[in-house]
């Protein structure tokens, strides 16, 4: 089989016009195919025998599907889809009252970067945070149930692409905006871009007991585009770093106009300092949010020039350096926090932009790493031996190099065009150095064809040795922007929702199931168990509910099968409604019975040998 890899290269012309050129690179069979013995050893590395588990969870962003994908590593088996920003009939997410309210009418989201909650810079496995670039939201997934626990809308943002990342102890979940926008999203002519448009960073707090977000404050910045960001660690723990592009303030044709400057900026912000100012009341209330302008406070914000249009910026596990990857400049730039702090101390500034002191590039930069022919570096991950791993979008490869010296150790192709990669615990203070998954944007002919558009692709590499070993490719739905690979011991999922006698709307025995009517509201306090629904214990047809057309109906259902994995679904024929109750869970379905007639209700989730019998009737009496 002859493989063709598409490589799109972006090259700058004299006039600053960027042209995308397309090359075809041939990977011939001899180079690509490995021997049968090789294949056997690779297969053995990832084979997880029945009865055993993968070592890691990979929690992968589902991009514009708005969902979270859960994979096992190293097997690369997909375990679960967790709906976050998008309704999901398979689990009834967005149909029951609570999740419907949480989604607030949105039917899609664009989930880019997952961030697992951290303690001392290491994953603690309790929650996962996600950004919605499409509709300006942040979500928290409870990793004890893999259910979305809260979603908060973020005002003043234009797509929080550069988040989410958490500070060392999850003090904050930070979300910098991608597009600058007038505050409140108000109307302002594009000619007023520099004056009226703002680049805003949201600093959210999450209360783990209440499982609720609140927006602590926002940071108002110049109308640059913030691309990616990271939180400092250890010595740099009070800081956040962000890459910018479009420091040209282009308002049209960004492909060209936002790629003019040779240098854009890394922005350094001291969140600790800003937190202190907010506590002292030094903020303005704008659009109902505490807004701080870091330029009002000495020592809160700095910029560092970086080669043009950088994409990722990642802090090293020891917190001493940060690495920017230049999507248009084919190099990784290593910066030193120590040197940055020194320059700040001495007030050694080379420039000032928008009132922001600019630190001299030469004094803060430690080295530029420029492997020959490696093009389009996007993101950096780390192992436990002081090495960095960079994905190269254009030259389709992963480059391993030594952070201390810049020495390139290994390069391996990835199939094709990787965006992020994710190494086992590879963005924490304590990476494991075991596996790395390149999250590719293009699959080409990796898998059985499903038409003109293919799945995205993930390449699994074993990175435990000196050389990286490509093990396998696995398909993934759009779009794997980023993932975190978390050791299985750090996540402690529940087997059940514990029985709670005081839970609102819950009924814990068949005998207690009942119906209450208040005016035109009908509240059904029912139970689901193998293999029946009980809505009204006193009725001679306990699994039927009769209401009047126009009534507002509430099915408060409790699954009283306290047995792991016995989930009951609840679909109403012809009513376009379906939700579920997991073991021990209580959920409410609320709707107006506007359609008169007879509607079967049935359990949608296969739960027992008599699952087909798990049904009932909704009877809606016509108005007249
Ligand atoms: Cu896909 Cu992280 Cu949204 Cu880079 S971003 S590739
Ligand atoms: Cu309950 Cu099927």
Domain parsing of the chain, residue ranges: 34-490, 510-621
Q: What is the pLDDT of residues 359-373, one digit of tens each?
A: 999 999 999 999 999
5 band by pLDDT with thresholds 50, 70 and 90: very low
Predicted pLDDT at 33: 61
Residue 612 backbone phi and psi in degrees, to 5: -60, -30
Predicted pLDDT at 309: 86
Cα diameter, the chain = 84
31 band by pLDDT with thresholds 50, 70 and 90: low
Quote the distance between the C-alpha of residue 426 and its chain's center.
Answer: 16
> Computed over its alpha carbons, how large is the radius of gyration of the chain?
27
pLDDT at 173 over 70: yes
Query: Does the CB atom of residue 607 touch ligand 2 within 6 A?
Result: yes
Q: What is the pLDDT of residues 557-585, one digit of tens each?
A: 999 999 999 999 999 999 999 999 999 99
Q: What is the pLDDT of residues 534-554, one digit of tens each?
A: 999 999 999 999 999 999 999
Ligand nearest the Cα of residue 559 is 2
Predicted pLDDT at 402: 98
Question: Which numbered atom of ligand 2 lies nearest the CA of 606?
Answer: 2
Q: Is the peptide bond before 164 cis (omega within 30 degrees of 0)?
A: yes
Q: How far apart are CA 224 and CA 222, in angstroms?
A: 6
Which percentage of the chain shows pLDDT scores above 70? 95
Query: Does the CB atom of residue 582 touch ligand 2 within 6 A?
Result: no
Residues 6 or more apart in contact with residue 80 via CB below 8 angstroms: 69, 70, 146
Q: Name which of 31-45, 80-94, 153-167, 338-352 the model is least confident about.
A: 31-45
Residues 6 or more apart in contact with residue 506 via CB below 8 angstroms: 500, 556, 558, 586
- CATH class, range 34-490: mainly beta
Predicted pLDDT at 84: 98
pLDDT at 2 over 50: no
* Average pLDDT across the chain, whole number: 93
Q: In what order do the strands lie in the sheet with 78-83?
A: 78-83, 67-73, 56-61, 483-487
Q: What is the pLDDT of residues 259-281, one digit of tens each?
A: 888 889 999 999 999 999 999 99
Q: How far apart are CA 618 and CA 592, in angstroms?
A: 12
Predicted pLDDT at 355: 93
Beta pairing class for 435-440 and 418-423: antiparallel
- Which residue has the CA at smallest separation from atom 3 of ligand 1? 112
- Ligand 1 centroid to residue 304 C-alpha, Å: 22
Predicted pLDDT at 247: 84
Question: Which numbered atom of ligand 1 lies nearest the CA of 479?
Answer: 1
- Ligand 1 centroid to residue 9 C-alpha, Å: 18
What number of CA atoms fall less than 13 Å from residue 623's CA on the CB side?
6
**Which of 228, 229, 230, 326 is the best mutation target for the ligand 1 pocket, counting ligand atoms within 8 Å of the beta carbon and taking the most?**
228
User: Quick check: do 34-490 and 510-621 share a fold?
Assistant: no
Q: Which residues does residue 599 pair with via DSSP β-bridges, in sequence order?
A: 618
**What is the three-class DSSP state of 578?**
strand
Residue 56 backbone phi and psi in degrees, to 5: -130, 150
Question: Which numbered atom of ligand 2 lies nearest the CA of 607?
Answer: 2
Query: Does the CB atom of residue 606 touch ligand 2 within 6 A?
Result: yes
Which percentage of the chain shows pLDDT scores above 90? 89
What number of CA atoms fall less than 13 Å from residue 589's CA on the CB side?
22
Question: Which numbered atom of ligand 2 lies nearest the CA of 566?
Answer: 1
Q: What is the dihedral of CA 9, 403, 112, 167, to 10 degrees?
A: -150
Residue 293 backbone phi and psi in degrees, to 5: -110, 110
- Ligand 2 centroid to residue 533 C-alpha, Å: 9
Query: Does the CB atom of residue 23 touch ligand 2 within 6 A?
Result: no
- Ligand 1 centroid to residue 394 C-alpha, Å: 14
Q: How far apart are CA 620 and CA 599, in angstroms?
A: 8
Q: What is the pLDDT of residues 53-104, one digit of tens each?
A: 999 999 999 999 999 999 999 999 999 999 999 999 999 999 999 999 999 9
Q: What is 510-621's CATH number? A: 2.60.40.420
- Ligand 2 centroid to residue 89 C-alpha, Å: 15
Q: Name which of 27-41, 198-212, 400-414, 427-441 the model is least confident about.
A: 27-41
């Amino acid at each position: 089989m002859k493989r063709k890899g598409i490589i799109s290269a972006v090259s700058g012309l004299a006039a600053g016009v960027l042209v995308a050129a397309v090359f075809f690179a041939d990977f011939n069979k001899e180079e690509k195919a490995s021997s049968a013995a090789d294949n056997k050893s690779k297969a053995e590395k990832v084979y997880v025998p029945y009865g055993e588990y993968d070592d890691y969870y990979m929690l992968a962003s589902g991009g514009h599907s708005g969902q979270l994908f859960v994979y096992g590593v190293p097997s690369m088996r997909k375990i679960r889809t967790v709906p976050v920003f998008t309704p999901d009939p398979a689990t009834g997410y967005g149909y029951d009252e609570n999740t419907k309210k949480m989604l607030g009418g949105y039917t899609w989201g664009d989930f880019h970067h997952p961030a697992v909650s951290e303690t001392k810079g290491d994953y603690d496995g309790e929650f996962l945070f996600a950004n919605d670039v499409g509709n300006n939201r942040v979500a928290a997934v409870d990793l004890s149930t893999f259910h979305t626990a809260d979603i908060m809308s973020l005002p003043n943002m234009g797509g929080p692409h550069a988040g989410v990342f958490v500070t060392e102890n999850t003090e904050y979940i930070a979300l910098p905006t991608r597009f600058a926008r007038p505050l409140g999203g108000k109307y302002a002519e594009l000619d007023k871009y520099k004056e009226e448009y703002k680049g805003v960073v949201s600093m959210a707090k999450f209360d783990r007991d209440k499982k609720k977000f609140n927006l602590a404050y926002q940071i108002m910045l110049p109308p640059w585009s913030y691309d990616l960001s990271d939180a400092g660690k250890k010595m740099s723990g009070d800081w956040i770093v962000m890459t910018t592009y479009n420091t040209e303030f282009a308002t049209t044709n960004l492909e060209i106009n936002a790629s003019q400057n040779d240098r854009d900026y890394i922005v350094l912000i001291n969140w600790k300092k800003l937190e202190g100012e907010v506590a002292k009341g030094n903020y303005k209330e704008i659009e109902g949010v505490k807004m701080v302008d870091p330029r009002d406070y000495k020592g809160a914000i700095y910029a560092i020039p970086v080669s043009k249009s950088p994409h990722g910026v990642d802090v090293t596990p020891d917190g001493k350096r940060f690495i920017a990857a230049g999507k248009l400049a084919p190099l990784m730039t290593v910066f030193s926090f120590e040197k940055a702090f020194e320059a700040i101390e001495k007030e050694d500034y080379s420039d000032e932009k928008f009132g922001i002191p600019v630190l001299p590039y030469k004094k803060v930069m430690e080295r530029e790493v420029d492997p020959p022919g490696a093009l389009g570096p996007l993101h950096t991950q780390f192992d436990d031996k002081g090495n960095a791993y960079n994905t190269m979008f254009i030259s389709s490869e992963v480059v391993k190099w030594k952070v201390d010296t810049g020495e390139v150790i290994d390069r391996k192709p990835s199939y094709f065009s990787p965006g992020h990669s994710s190494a086992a615990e590879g963005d924490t203070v304590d990476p494991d150095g075991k596996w790395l998954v390149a999250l590719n944007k293009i699959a080409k002919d990796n898998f059985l064809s499903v038409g003109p558009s293919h799945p995205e692709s993930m390449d699994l590499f074993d990175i435990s040795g000196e050389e990286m070993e490509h093990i396998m490719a696995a398909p993934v739905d759009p779009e794997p922007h980023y993932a975190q690979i978390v050791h299985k011991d750090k996540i402690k999922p529940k087997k059940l929702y514990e029985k709670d006698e005081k839970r609102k709307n819950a009924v814990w025995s068949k005998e207690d199931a009942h119906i209450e009517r208040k005016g035109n509201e009908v509240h059904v306090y029912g139970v689901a168990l193998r293999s029946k629904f009980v809505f009204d214990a006193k009725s001679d047809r306990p699994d039927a509910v009769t209401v009047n057309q126009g009534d507002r109906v509430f099915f408060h259902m409790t699954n009283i099968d306290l047995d792991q994995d016995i989930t009951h679904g609840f679909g109403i024929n012809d009513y376009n409604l379906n939700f579920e109750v997991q073991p021990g869970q209580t959920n409410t379905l609320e709707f107006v019975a506007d359609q008169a007639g007879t509607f079967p209700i049935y359990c949608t989730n296969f739960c027992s040998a008599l699952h087909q019998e798990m049904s009932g009737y909704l009877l809606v009496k016509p108005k007249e």
